[in-house]
Copies of this chain bind each other. A is one copy, B any other.
Amino acid sequence: MMRGFDSIDSMNHEELLVRRKRGNKKVLIFLGIIIAAFFIIGILIGYFSRPGNGGSGGAAPSTDGNNFDYVKFVQENVNKDNIRENLRRYSSEPRLAGTPLDEKLAKTIEKEWRENGLEEVHLATYEVLLSFPNKSNPNVVQILNGSNAVQFESQKFEKPLTDHENNSNVVPPFNGHSPSGNVKGDVVYVNYGRIEDFEYVANNLSLNITGKIVIARYGKIFRGDKVKNAERFSAIAVILYSDPQDYNMDVNVTNTYPNSWWLPPTGIQRGTVGVDGDPQTPLYPSTSYAHRLSDMETDLLLPRIPSQPIGYGDAQEILSIMGGPDAPEDWQGGLNFTYRIGPGFLDQNNSTVRVIVNNNNEVRPVHNVIGYIKGKEEPDRYVLLGNHHDAWVFGAVDPLSGSAALTEITRVFGLMLSKGHRPRRTVVFCSWDAEEYGLVGSVEWVEDHLKVLHQRGVALLNLDYAAVSNYSLAVGTSPLLQDALYAAAKKVPSPDPSVGETLYDLWTARPIKKMKDPSPDPYVTYSLGSGSDMAAFYQRAGVPSVDMWMTYNEIEMPLSSYPLYHSSHETFFAYDTFIDPGFSATNTITQFMAILACDLACTELLPMDVQRYSAAVSNFHQTLINSFGDKWQKQNVNIEAFDSSVQNFTAATKAFQDILDADKETILKSPLDLRRINDQLMLLERAFLNPEGLPGRPSQKHVMFAPSQFDSYVDNSFPGIMDTMYEIDHGDEGKWEQLKQQVFIATHIIQSAASTLEDIGL
């Protein structure tokens, strides 16, 4: 389908040109003539080199330098039946990282990408530490009576609910990188397991968590942080479960999967509780020759207490008989009884809980698939598209819907290439392995190729799941790419024409977050620090990144994630029937990713907006001042310099944009001037990296946007400052010097970013 898309935004970008006036007038006149001649002949070349397409005339919107309309090409060629078929094949078997069926999928993708016309398709293999449960001795949570007899036992395997799920390769429920253990104790309910939840129990209720087993519901924060918090409060094990309030909107349990997308009582969310990247090789790649930490050193980086996930059917057996005070109102979940804190049970006969975890850490090879189409004019500038191919089980949503889409994009780019349209810049396609174990495949690859990525990476577009529903678009992005996203979304037909003509219209009409201030722009978040494979690109290499997917109405359905997340019920059937019937949302995001990639890979001037970056910095800076300004003043924090640096950065982005705008009319025909401007745009993100990393977190190098160490605390901006203020606000007054240091570093980095936009900047 071809529609009259609004592409004014992208035209503005393409027309932006810079030409410095200097030097000898005579030379300039000569040069003008030469350039004009060159330009006319260039047009002729472009005209004759355009294969087949006749004299359609006029400058088309969203074309590359050779007048090829890649938007139309993508729209006409992305085929949702192909994506559906890809997904059917990819999700036909469990794809757990490090297993033969996962390797088989990697090789399938490698083969298909090669057939689709990508160049140099290869496997990038790393030997990493994974973690597996023991099928013949499965993990279990038990209730024991006073004489240690088992009164109740959680499901050892997740119940198959369709024929397809009845597969011996389905991995039993477990938490990746949880240590083994067999512990017994009283149970305490800790809500979401956030720091503030533990503090409530320990401080407000004066309940000693030491030696207890905690039961926490999934949601709000990363499950690994729940375990870390439990360790901090000296618990001995963690039981994790999915509460219907967070995953089912209190839905009637008879109406769950396979009759709907809602999680059944037997459904269980798997997931890692470990760290990002291979814990044996922090900061360095797990190549064949890597030096690895000893087991003891590795263990120090991983959780020290066992954890195990269970379904809400089983959780109900424990929670419903717990004793102690009633949990507060907002701790009450969706199960039909009053949640109590514990410790222990109501029955007073010394019942306890036992958690048995029999996981094994094993070093296994994981296989990323890498292929590319080499750029024509700027082969040394890379636009990267990534998705992972390992799944906890069938992974039809997470991640194979994304894999299915990415393979379709390789087909469209291959087709483009076969018709003679090679992009200006190199487009790299990446299919990551072992994402589920902590972004392992992508982290190791980024560590392996840090230098090249740091020097040449233009952007990384991440698609984990293509769609978890079909309501609207969810986007995390670097501010640099925010406008490119808007421009691209205007070139993609809406999956629901009743809501608007383009994806941009849909995105605008269906916000997924209630905005404090009404904004003319569709909602994006700047959180890119973790959770999927853009993290290392953004945090380590400073490559401007985007993460995107189609989602449900998150305002009306405040779920912690789509309900079947990481269960064995993420099947092709579920995707095809409930998530995106007809694949129109999937088709939309595929077109969106492909067109955004073309915009980044084909336009002469990179579609990046530095003023968005300064606006973001300025907003988050204001939030800090509003929150902490008074306290800071009392402690003589150098607020004035911090303010100035933000103002200077704002002024520098404006001056930079003004120069671009002023020379808009002149056609930018100086390759070196263009390259210089593009380098300044692309490298602006690098300016926010501090080689020294955040305090205590050497692998997190982005000073502006990174996950907070205490991840429930406000937002993901200025992590060094936010984390330190968190500690101060929690009583550690000794951290004021560190706070001043972090404010200084932020001031310096922002100042330094401003200087990269100046002409010379020294």
Residues of chain A touching chain B, judged by Cβ–Cβ distance below 8 Å, are 20, 22-24, 26-27, 30-31, 34, 37-38, 41-42, 44-45, 48-49, 120, 283-285, 287-291, 294, 370, 372, 374, 376-380, 382, 420, 422, 426, 428, 448-452, 455, 638, 640-642, 644, 670-672, 675-676, 679-680, 683, 686-687, 691-692, 698, 701, 737, 740-741, 743-745, 747-748, 751-753, 755-756, 759-762
Contacts and interface: CB of A to CB of B under 8 A. Distances in A.
B451 A753 contact: yes
A25 to B, nearest CB: 10
Contacts of A737: 291, 294
A283 to B, nearest CB: 6
Contacts of A289: 638, 640-642, 644, 744, 747-748
Given A289-B747, A671-B672, A755-B451, A283 B692 contact: yes
A363 to B, nearest CB: 16
Given A41-B34, A698-B692, A759-B379, A451 B288 contact: no
A660 to B, nearest CB: 15
Contacts of A644: 289
Contacts of A672: 377-378, 671-672, 675
A26 B120 CA distance: 26
B370 A449 contact: no
A636 to B, nearest CB: 11
Contacts of A23: 376, 420, 422
A750 B482 CA distance: 37
A743 B641 contact: no
A701 B451 CA distance: 14
A372 B759 CA distance: 12
A96 B746 CA distance: 33
B675 A372 contact: no
30 contacts: A23-B376, A24-B49, A24-B420, A27-B49, A30-B41, A30-B44, A30-B48, A34-B45, A287-B751, A288-B641, A289-B640, A290-B744, A291-B638, A291-B737, A291-B743, A370-B762, A378-B672, A378-B676, A379-B676, A379-B760, A428-B762, A448-B748, A449-B762, A450-B752, A451-B752, A451-B753, A455-B679, A455-B756, A671-B672, A691-B691
Contacts of A455: 679, 683, 686, 756
A107 to B, nearest CB: 19
A452 B755 contact: yes
A35 to B, nearest CB: 10
A683 to B, nearest CB: 6
Nearest to A751: B287
A460 to B, nearest CB: 12
Contacts of A291: 638, 737, 740-741, 743-744
Contact of A745 (B20, B284, B451, B759): B284
Contacts of A760: 120, 372, 374, 379, 382, 426
A292 to B, nearest CB: 9
- Name the residue among A20, A37, A377, A744 with the largest chain B CB count within 10 angstroms: A744
A686 B691 CA distance: 13
Closest 3 CB pairs of A and B: A289-B641, A291-B744, A671-B671
Contacts of A370: 762
A285 B641 CA distance: 14
A31 B284 CA distance: 45
Contacts of A120: 760
Given A26-B49, A45-B31, A452 B761 contact: yes
B752 A284 contact: no
A591 to B, nearest CB: 26
Contacts of A759: 374, 379
A748 B290 CA distance: 8
Contacts of A380: 676, 679-680
A725 to B, nearest CB: 15
